[in-house]
Amino acid sequence: MRRLGAILLGFGYMVLLIESLHVGVAWWRDELNDPGPEEWLMLGALPVLAWIWWRYLSLFRPGCGKAQCGLPDSQAAKPSPPNKEDH
């Protein structure tokens, strides 16, 4: 159940980020003639969502160096042995 909650939270975050980027680009191109409260909310949420992405989800997060991101500690520390059948 916890994994499903994390997946739904991640999905909701990505939808918000993509929609706020869409509104931000439309605002930048001066395509928003009369922005409503939803557009202003999305424009205000864009820096916060971008910061969350940069700080916690991107490759530039703390502790993510030397191409080690995403690997469990046990796999990152030791290389896999060569397969004997390949020779």
Summarised one tens digit per residue, pLDDT across range 14-56 is: 999 999 999 999 999 999 889 999 999 999 999 999 999 888 8
| Residue 64 Ramachandran class (φ > 0 left, ψ -120 to 50 alpha, else beta) | beta
Q: Is the pTM of this model over 0.85?
A: no
Number of residues in the chain: 87
User: What per-residue string of b and e applies to 32-68 under the rule 16 or more CB within 10 Å gives b?
Assistant: eeeeeeebeebbebbeebeeeeeeeeeeeeeeeeeee
